[in-house]
Amino acid sequence: AKLLQLLQVDGFHAMATPSPAKSMGDPGITPLSPSHIQQNDTDSNAHTGPSFIVVVAIDFGTTSSGYAYAFTKEPECIHTMRRWEGGDPGVSNQKTPTTILLTPDRKFHSFGYAARDFYHDLDPTESKHWLYLEKFKMKLHTTANLSIDTELHAANGKRVKAIDIFAYALAFFKEQALKELSDQAGAEFDNADIRWVITVPAIWKMPAKQFMREAAYKAGLVPRDNPEQLIIALEPEAASIYCRKLRLHQMIDIGTKTNQNGFSPTENVGAGMTQAKEHVRSKRQSRTFLVENVIGELWSELEEGDRYVVVDCGGGTVDLTVHQIRLPEGHLKELYKASGGPYGSIGIDYEFEKLLCKIFGPDFIDQFKIKRPAAWVDLMIAFESRKRAAAPDRTNPLNINLPFSFIDYYKKFRGHSVEHALRKSNVDFVKWSSQGMLRMNPDAMNALFKPTIDHIIQHLTDLFEKPEVSDIKFLFLVGGFAESPLLQQAVQNMLQGRSRIIIPHDVGLTILKGAVLFGLDPSVIKVRRSPLTYGVGVLNRYVEGKHPPDKMLVKDGTRWCTDVFDTFITCDQSVALGETVKRSYTPAKPSQQVIVIHIYCSEKERVGFISEPGVRKCGTLRLDVTGTESTVVRREIQTLMQFGDTEIRAMAVDVATSRTVKASIDFLSQ
């Protein structure tokens, strides 16, 4: 007997049989044919299409953002954006802070340094009406049920729709990039000639990636009917692609100067970084990076099958990716699904805030943030530059300027001085200096780093215990937080010489430049790992002893087992680029216009039923079958789902007429 399956569809059960069954007249019946097609390592044709003149990548970071571009005619030349107006002393201004300012009537005003400076210069009575947002990208990672309606809080406590803020930010980058390209071309540059790339953390779930895409549509980056013009790139993958092309003079190897016990003395780490920074500074005038179009020197040491780890330490998240090199072209294969978590450098800011709450009281800090939002921003900027000066071998204290309004407001609020509060609090290593500053002993600063760095080290330790992650040749440390000597030393101590630690010179721009390379050739990563198990709910023929009795359903005298999870792809399964999973569905009624199928996912590899704990409905597949009505009694809609890309895609065809059916997967509106 042929295996019978039923697809569970909203409101009714749909029966599925690989051959047209007698009961086809039943209004709730849908055949479903499971099959999995493995396309051999051919390049997916999904990314071909119109040719673009230029690729522009936007690295939309938690703490800082920027864009870079390359012309398809000169893929070796990657140009990073013009210098930003404003900027902080001691911080490279090749990216601008991810801060946005809206006018009191919620119109876009400015972005980056410009937003920060303008907000700062506003009169306090006026500034509380303006909407200032920073570090808002993390909301997409931390919101459990992200939707188009998710809201963010501005510094003054007012709420705004997240999609509007992300769209404003992307529209700002679009305008900047188009202006720069037009100036270069000496004529108006057409947006249709640009392929856009936006980077996101690899550990983001599908709704967050789709949210970014929706924001790009809203910002007018690409039209909705041409989704191919925008690629979502995964941050550590982009870094990996860039690191592949590095020459040895473009990076610092902090593992080479080892002494007997396999550790390198800390001063070498510091000195190596200082030399590198000098090297970068001398090259700073030029914003064009030449990438070796052959595989870089580093790879002359790599053989077929060698493995390396990219640790992308950003402002919000830390993302780990394990890649294996496939020669001769140097294609990459992901060996273990991306992992990581919300352990970026803003964790250190939260620790500093907790420290302030401990000294001055959480009630005061909450009030101060709302009543003097611009002064709070000032205080965090002062902390930021001191944070960058923290190092393992530092002995002299770090001074943090307290804004005058902090001192003043505290006195009004509590009736005694800031100095008194510091004396009274039993916080070690933080003193008041007569110049009106918080004086932090290096140990106090290092303690602020500890929770975040511990998380990262724990994560790396767990990763290195996985069988797929044995004998790693290199560990690339990238992302802005990778510049921290404290983090570098911790990683070095953990590895104990097991693999070489490599830090690219312009570590904060690694992802940006890699994203441009990815946009020029998205097929460079041939094999990825699925982060989750995906499938749909079906009915199967009930088998005594195999299926639980409470799942039995009798329909027209036939016994069915409900809620069976039909797996499309399992967690951590290898998926080649262009590989598809194929299923066939048929509309329940001849007049049906839309087939809606729920997609379920789980972090477990083996799932039996959609009702199991940990299985959640994560998306819907919509097949728009209008206009496919035909004289054929049994209309079969063949659906192909692609899982090998950075986003999940669906395509569908009406088998009888070979016409394309509109198929869309939605992970946002649950």
Residue 605 has pLDDT above 70, yes or no: yes
Place of tokens 């040491």: 301
Helices (H), 496-644: 510-520
Q: Which residue has the higher pLDDT, 237 or 264?
A: 237
Q: Which position has the higher pLDDT, 630 or 451?
A: 451
- Per-residue model confidence (pLDDT) at position 204: 92
Tokens for 2, please give them. Answer: 């042929």
Q: Report the phi/psi class of residue 501: left, alpha or beta, with left for phi > 0 and alpha for psi in -120 to 50.
A: beta
Q: What is the mean pLDDT of residues 187-206?
A: 94
Q: Which CATH class is domain 532-664?
A: mainly beta
C-beta separation of 87 from 99 below 8 A: no
- Is pLDDT above 50 for 10? no
Q: Give the residue among 432, 433, 431, 428 at the shortest CA–CA distance from 447.
A: 428
With a CB cutoff of 8 Å and minimum separation 6, the contacts of 532 are 571, 601, 602, 603, 618
Say how many C-beta atoms besides its own lie within 10 A of residue 209's C-beta. 22
Q: What pLDDT score does 147 carry?
A: 92
Q: Give the residue from 599, 110, 99, 524 showing the smallest Cα distance to 332.
A: 524
- Say yes or no to pLDDT of 215 above 50: yes
- The residue among 314, 312, 343, 349 whose CA lies nearest residue 456 is 343
pLDDT for the residue 515: 96
| Banded pLDDT at 188 (limits 50, 70, 90) | very high
Question: 537 is written with which tokens?
Answer: 């709910």
Amino acid letter, residue 445? M
For the chain, the distance separating the N- and C-terminal CA atoms, rounded to the nearest angstrom, is 38
Longest dimension (CA), the chain: 91
Tens of pLDDT, residues 93-145: 578 999 999 999 999 999 999 999 899 888 888 888 999 999 999 998 888 88
Are 127 and 373 a contacting pair, CB within 8 Å? yes
Helix, strand, or coil (residue 61): coil
pLDDT at 5 over 70: no
C-alpha to C-alpha distances, 23 to 106, 119, 434, 558, 598, nearest whole angstrom: 58, 69, 89, 11, 24
Q: Residues of the chain with pLDDT > 70: what percent?
A: 82
- Overall average pLDDT of the 186-192 stretch: 93
- pLDDT score recorded for residue 2: 34
Query: Residues of CATH 2.60.34.10 domain(s) within the chain?
Result: 532-664
User: Which pLDDT band holds residue 434 (cuts at 50, 70, 90)?
Assistant: confident
CA 532/CA 370 separation, integer angstroms: 40
The one-character DSSP state at 238 is: H
> Within 10 Å of residue 111's Cβ, how many Cβ atoms?
23
Residue of 515 and 42 predicted with greater confidence:
515
29 by DSSP, 3-state: which?
Answer: strand
Confidence (pLDDT) at 11: 35
pLDDT at site 287:
61
Alpha-carbon distance of 503 to 293, in angstroms, equals 20
- Which tokens go with 372? 């003097």
Q: Let me know if domain 54-235 sits in CATH 3.20.20.70.
A: no
- When pLDDT is averaged across residues 43-52 and rounded to a whole number, the result is 53
CA neighbor of 380 nearest in space, from 349, 412, 408: 349
Confidence at 392, pLDDT banded by 50, 70, 90: very high
Give strand pairing partners of 583.
639
In the block, residue with structure tokens 């401990």: 358
Summarised one tens digit per residue, pLDDT across range 526-576 is 999 999 999 988 888 888 888 899 989 888 788 888 888 989 999 999 999
DSSP state, residue 403 = P
Between the alpha carbon of residue 322 and those of residues 245, 304, 327, 476, 504, the distances in Å are 17, 15, 17, 10, 17
**Which pLDDT does position 8 carry in this prediction?**
56
Residue 470 neighbours by CB distance under 10 Å: 11
Total-model pTM: 0.84
Neighbour tally for 291: CB within 10 Å: 22
* Contacts with 26 (C-beta within 8 Å, 6 or more apart), sequence order: 15, 556
User: Which pLDDT does position 30 carry in this prediction?
Assistant: 37
**CB-CB contact of 152 with 133 (8 Å):** yes
Where b means 16+ CB within 10 Å and e means fewer, 389-410 reads: ebbbebeebbebbbbebbeebb
User: In the chain, which segments carry CATH 3.30.420.40?
Assistant: 54-235
DSSP state of 374: H
The mean of the pLDDT values for the chain is: 83
478, pLDDT greater than 80: yes
| Residue 353 three-state SS | helix
**Which tens digit of pLDDT belongs to each residue from 296-320?**
566 567 778 888 999 999 999 999 9
Model pLDDT, residue 433: 86
Q: Indicate whether 165 pLDDT > 50.
A: yes
Helix (H) or strand (E) holding 136: none
Q: What percentage of residues in the chain have a pLDDT greater than 90?
A: 51
For residue 406, give Cα distances in angstroms to 189, 340, 583: 48, 36, 63
Give the residue carrying structure tokens 């983090």: 487
State the pLDDT at residue 274: 55
